[in-house]
Amino acid sequence: MKAKVIVTPKKTVLDPQGNAVRDAMRHLGMPEVRNVRIGKYLEIDLDGKDVDLEKRLDGLCRDLLSNPVIEEYSIERLSE
């Protein structure tokens, strides 16, 4: 299976990178931009597709791919 993992900074964590991009977008003629948050996108190829594999992937999202103190993550299964 293929999985897409998106890691984003929690709302309570300051995202100076996102703010800098937001300001640049406003400067470039898009005053409508209210907020930008920058995260990470991971595309993961896995052998197999059982429930146990998904569960273990979820565990590693929590332990390695994100830091729960500052980040949130979501997993999406991609159809092949």
Partner 1 sequence: MKFAVIQFPGSNCDQDCIAAINSIAGLHAEYVWHKETSLRDFDAIVLPGGFAFGDYLRCGAIARFSPIMQAVVSDARAGKLVLGTCNGFQILCEAGLLPGALVRNRSLRFVCEMVTTRVEVANSPFMHGCSEGTLLRLPIAHGEGCFFADPETLRELNRDRQVILRYSDRQGRIVPEANPNGSIENIAGICNHERNVFGLMPHPDRASDARLGSADGAKIFRSIMETINANRAEAGSSLAEQVA
Positions that interact with partner 1 (CB under 8 A): 9, 12-14, 16-17, 20, 40, 64-65, 67, 69-70
Q: 49 vs 60, which CB is nearer to partner 1?
A: 60
- Residue closer to partner 1 by CB (options 1, 42) is 42
Residue number, 19 or 33, with CB nearest to partner 1: 19
Rounded to a whole number, what is the distance in angstroms from the first to the last CA of the chain? Answer: 7
Classify 13 as helix, strand or coil. coil
CA-based nearest residue to 1, from 56, 58, 48: 48
Least Cβ distance, residue 78 to partner 1 (angstroms): 21
Rounded Cα distance between 22 and 15, Å, is 11
